[in-house]
Amino acid sequence: MKNLNILLLLFSAISLSSCEEVIELDLKESKPRLVIDASLIWYLDTSGNNQEIILSKTTGFYEEEINPVTDAEVVVETINGERFIFTHQEQGIYTNTNFNPVFEKDYTLEIIYQDEIYTSSSSFVPASGIDYIAQNSEGGFTREDLEVEVYFTDPVDENNFYLFNFRNISESKISLEIYEDEFTNGNQVSVSYSNEELMENDEIHITMEGISPAFYQYLFILRSQGGNNGGGPFQSQPATVKGNIVNETNPENYPFGYFRLSQADSTTYIVQ
Amino acid sequence: MKFNLSALLLLFFLIFSLGLEAQETYTLNGIITNASSNETLIGVNIIIPEEKKGVITNEYGFYSIKLPEGTHIVEISYLGFESLRKEITITQDTTLDAALSESSENLEEVVIKSNTEGLNIKSPEMSVNKLSINTIQKLPVVFGEVDIIKSLLLLPGVSNAGEGASGFNVRGGAVDQNLILLDEATIFNSSHLFGFFSVFNPDAVKNIKLYKGGIPAKYGGRVSSVLDIYQRDGNSKEFEAQGGIGIISSRLLAEGPIVLDKGSFLVAGRSSYAHLFLKLADNPNSAYFYDLNTKLTYTINEKNKLLFSGYFGRDVFDINQNFLNTYGNSVFNLRWNHLISDEIFTNLSLIYSDYYYGLTLNFVGFNWDSGIKNLNIKYDFNHYLNDAFQLEYGMHNTYYEFNPGEIAPVDENSGINYFKLTNKYALENANYFSVEHKISDRITAQYGLRFSNFFRLGQNRLNEYRNNNPIIYNAALDIYQEAEPISQRSISRSEVIKTYSNLEPRLALAYNFNDHQSVKASYNRMAQYLHLISNTSSPTPLDVWAPSGPFIKPQILDQFALGYFRNFQKGKYSLETEIFYKDIKNRIDYVNGANLIANNNIETIILNGKTRAYGLEFLAKKNEGSLTGWVAYTLSRSEQQTPGRTPIESGINNGKWYATNYDKTHDISITATYDYNKKWDFSANFAFQTGLPVTYPTGQYNFNGISIPVYGDRNSNRLPAYHRLDLSATYIPKPEKQDGFRSSWNFGIYNIYNRKNANSISFRENDDTGRNEAAKLSLFGIIPSVTFNFEF
* Tens digits of residue pLDDT in B92-144: 999 999 999 887 644 433 334 444 445 677 788 888 888 888 888 888 887 88
Cα separation, B40 vs B81, in Å, equals: 13
Cα separation, B657 vs B589, in Å, equals: 12
Give the pairing of strands A256-270 and A124-125: parallel
Q: Is B488 on the interface with A (CB under 8 A)?
A: no
Q: What is the separation of C-alpha A165 from the centre of its chain, rounded to a whole number of angstroms?
A: 7
Q: Which of residues 24-43 of A touch B (CB under 8 A)?
A: 24-25, 27-30, 32-33, 35, 37, 39
Confidence of residue A18 (pLDDT cuts 50, 70, 90): low
Min distance A109 CA to chain B CA atoms (Å): 15
| Cα B84–Cα B88–Cα B92 angle in degrees, nearest 5 | 140
Beta strands in A61-199 (DSSP E): 67-68, 73-78, 83-90, 93-96, 107-113, 116-122, 124-125, 130-139, 145-153, 161-168, 173-180, 188-194
Partner residue opposite A234 with nearest CB, options B415, B540, B709: B540
Instruction: Give residue B218's pLDDT.
Output: 95
B590–A242 C-beta distance less than 8 A:
no
- Evaluate if residue B408 carries a pLDDT over 80: yes
The percentage of residues in chain B with a pLDDT greater than 70, rounded to a whole number, is 94
Cα separation, B153 vs B171, in Å, equals: 11
- Evaluate if residue B523 carries a pLDDT over 80: yes
B777–A20 C-beta distance less than 8 A:
yes
A232–B777 C-beta distance less than 8 A:
yes
Question: How big is the A-B interface in CB pairs under 8 Å?
Answer: 254
Inter-residue contact B448 to B432 (CB < 8 Å): yes
DSSP string, A1-19: -THHHHHHHHHHHHHT-SE
User: Which sign, positive or negative, has the C-alpha torsion B121, B124, B126, B129?
Assistant: negative
Q: Which of residues 589-618 of B touch A (CB under 8 A)?
A: 590, 592-593, 595, 597-598
Instruction: Give residue B564's pLDDT.
Output: 95
What are the chain B neighbours of A21 within 8 Å (beta carbons)?
756, 775-776, 778
Q: Is B443 on the interface with A (CB under 8 A)?
A: no
Q: Is A156 on the interface with B (CB under 8 A)?
A: no
Confidence of residue A230 (pLDDT cuts 50, 70, 90): very low
- Evaluate if residue B359 carries a pLDDT over 80: yes
A184–B699 C-beta distance less than 8 A:
no
Per the model's pLDDT, the better-predicted residue between B51 and B488 turns out to be B488
The whole-number average pLDDT for the span A243-253 is: 93
B451, amino acid identity: F
Q: Is A174 on the interface with B (CB under 8 A)?
A: yes
Q: Is B747 on the interface with A (CB under 8 A)?
A: no
Confidence of residue A234 (pLDDT cuts 50, 70, 90): low
The whole-number average pLDDT for the span A184-194 is: 85
Q: Is B475 on the interface with A (CB under 8 A)?
A: no
Those residues whose C-beta lies under 8 Å from the C-beta of residue B352, and which sit 6 or more positions away, are: B185, B330, B331, B332, B333, B373, B374, B375, B376
B162–A257 C-beta distance less than 8 A:
no
Per the model's pLDDT, the better-predicted residue between B722 and A272 turns out to be B722
Give the pairing of strands B178-182 and B225-231: parallel
Instruction: Give residue A40's pLDDT.
Output: 95
Q: Is B164 on the interface with A (CB under 8 A)?
A: yes
DSSP string, B102-121: BPPGGGTT-S-EE------S
The whole-number average pLDDT for the span A44-51 is: 93
Q: Is A237 on the interface with B (CB under 8 A)?
A: yes
Q: Which of residues 625-664 of B touch A (CB under 8 A)?
A: none
The whole-number average pLDDT for the span A206-233 is: 76
Closest by CA to A242, choosing from B650, B81, B24, B112, is: B650
Q: Is B733 on the interface with A (CB under 8 A)?
A: no
Partner residue opposite A28 with nearest CB, options B363, B407, B698: B698
- Evaluate if residue A227 carries a pLDDT over 60: no
A235–B537 C-beta distance less than 8 A:
yes
Those residues whose C-beta lies under 8 Å from the C-beta of residue B412, and which sit 6 or more positions away, are: none
Confidence of residue B372 (pLDDT cuts 50, 70, 90): very high
DSSP string, B641-668: EB--SSTT---BGGG--EE-TT--SEEE
Cα separation, B781 vs B755, in Å, equals: 6
B416–A15 C-beta distance less than 8 A:
no
Partner residue opposite A221 with nearest CB, options B368, B593, B781: B593
Q: Collapsing DSSP states into helix, strand and coil, what is residue B617?
A: strand
Q: What is the ipTM of this complex?
A: 0.89
* Tens digits of residue pLDDT in A111-154: 999 999 999 999 999 998 899 999 988 777 667 788 899 999 98
B781–A18 C-beta distance less than 8 A:
yes
pTM: 0.88
Inter-residue contact B748 to B728 (CB < 8 Å): yes
Helices (H), chain A: 3-15, 213-225
Which one is the CATH code of A34-125+242-261: 2.60.40, 1.10.3470, 3.30.70, 2.40.30? 2.60.40
Q: Is A92 on the interface with B (CB under 8 A)?
A: no
Confidence of residue B563 (pLDDT cuts 50, 70, 90): very high
Query: CA of A200: how far to CAs of A148, A271, A272, B768, in Å?
Result: 11, 5, 5, 19
The percentage of residues in chain B with a pLDDT greater than 90, rounded to a whole number, is 61
Partner residue opposite A233 with nearest CB, options B165, B709, B711: B165
Min distance B697 CA to chain A CA atoms (Å): 7
B702–A233 C-beta distance less than 8 A:
no
A225–B711 C-beta distance less than 8 A:
yes
Confidence of residue B765 (pLDDT cuts 50, 70, 90): confident
Q: Return the number of other C-beta atoms located less than 10 Å from residue B198's C-beta.
A: 24
Q: What is the mean pLDDT of chain A?
A: 85
The whole-number average pLDDT for the span B516-539 is: 91
Q: Which of residues 58-87 of A touch B (CB under 8 A)?
A: 58-64, 66
Instruction: Give residue B9's pLDDT.
Output: 54
Top CATH class, B227-791: mainly beta
Cα separation, B144 vs B708, in Å, equals: 42
Inter-residue contact B578 to B561 (CB < 8 Å): yes
B319–A141 C-beta distance less than 8 A:
yes
Q: Collapsing DSSP states into helix, strand and coil, what is residue A220?
A: helix
* Tens digits of residue pLDDT in B635-688: 999 999 999 999 999 999 889 999 999 999 999 999 999 999 889 999 999 999
Confidence of residue B317 (pLDDT cuts 50, 70, 90): confident
**Where exactly are the structural domains of chain B?**
23-114, 128-226, 227-791
Could you name the CATH architecture of A3-15+128-235+266-270?
Answer: Sandwich (2.60)
- Evaluate if residue A11 carries a pLDDT over 60: no
Inter-residue contact B520 to B503 (CB < 8 Å): no
Top CATH class, B23-114: mainly beta
Determine if residue B439 is left, alpha or beta; phi over 0 gives left, psi from -120 to 50 gives alpha, anything else beta: alpha
**Where exactly are the structural domains of chain A?**
3-15+128-235+266-270, 34-125+242-261
B416–A184 C-beta distance less than 8 A:
yes
Fold agreement (A3-15+128-235+266-270, A34-125+242-261)? yes
Instruction: Give residue A221's pLDDT.
Output: 82
**How many residues comprise chain B?**
792
- Evaluate if residue B766 carries a pLDDT over 90: no
Those residues whose C-beta lies under 8 Å from the C-beta of residue B386, and which sit 6 or more positions away, are: B16, B20, B21, B25, B66
What are the chain B neighbours of A30 within 8 Å (beta carbons)?
698-699, 710, 712
The whole-number average pLDDT for the span B54-68 is: 91
Helix (H) or strand (E) holding B220: none
Inter-residue contact B764 to A228 (CB < 8 Å): yes
What are the chain B neighbours of A174 within 8 Å (beta carbons)?
704-706
Confidence of residue B704 (pLDDT cuts 50, 70, 90): confident
What are the chain B neighbours of A10 within 8 Å (beta carbons)?
319, 323
Instruction: Give residue B508's pLDDT.
Output: 95
Q: Collapsing DSSP states into helix, strand and coil, what is residue A110?
A: strand
Those residues whose C-beta lies under 8 Å from the C-beta of residue B179, and which sit 6 or more positions away, are: B186, B219, B220, B221, B222, B225, B226, B227
What are the chain B neighbours of A33 within 8 Å (beta carbons)?
699, 701, 710
Q: Collapsing DSSP states into helix, strand and coil, what is residue A114?
A: coil
Confidence of residue A8 (pLDDT cuts 50, 70, 90): very low
Per the model's pLDDT, the better-predicted residue between B21 and B592 turns out to be B592
Instruction: Give residue A10's pLDDT.
Output: 43
Per the model's pLDDT, the better-predicted residue between B666 and B13 turns out to be B666
What are the chain A neighbours of B777 within 8 Å (beta carbons)?
16, 18-20, 231-232
Q: Is A185 on the interface with B (CB under 8 A)?
A: yes
Cα separation, B323 vs B791, in Å, equals: 39
Taking CA–CA distances from B407, the nearest residue in chain A reads A183
Q: Is B413 on the interface with A (CB under 8 A)?
A: no
Q: What is the mean pLDDT of chain B?
A: 88
Partner residue opposite A22 with nearest CB, options B194, B195, B773: B773
* Chain A interface mutation, best of B410, B482, B762, highest count of A Cβ atoms under 10 Å: B762
Does domain B128-226 bear CATH number 2.170.130? yes
Residue B537: φ, ψ to 5°: -60, -35
The whole-number average pLDDT for the span B484-509 is: 95
What are the chain B neighbours of A91 within 8 Å (beta carbons)?
none
Q: Is A151 on the interface with B (CB under 8 A)?
A: no
Those residues whose C-beta lies under 8 Å from the C-beta of residue A172, and which sit 6 or more positions away, are: none
Min distance A266 CA to chain B CA atoms (Å): 16
Instruction: Give residue B321's pLDDT.
Output: 76
B760–A233 C-beta distance less than 8 A:
yes
* Chain A interface mutation, best of B710, B717, B776, highest count of A Cβ atoms under 10 Å: B710
Helices (H), B57-212: 133-138, 148-152
- Evaluate if residue B337 carries a pLDDT over 90: yes
Q: Is B535 on the interface with A (CB under 8 A)?
A: yes
Q: Is B699 on the interface with A (CB under 8 A)?
A: yes
Direct distance between the N- and C-terminal alpha carbons of chain A, in angstroms, rounded to an integer: 30
Instruction: Give residue A16's pLDDT.
Output: 38
* Chain A interface mutation, best of B600, B650, B695, B701, highest count of A Cβ atoms under 10 Å: B701
Instruction: Give residue A142's pLDDT.
Output: 67
B494, amino acid identity: S
A80, amino acid identity: N
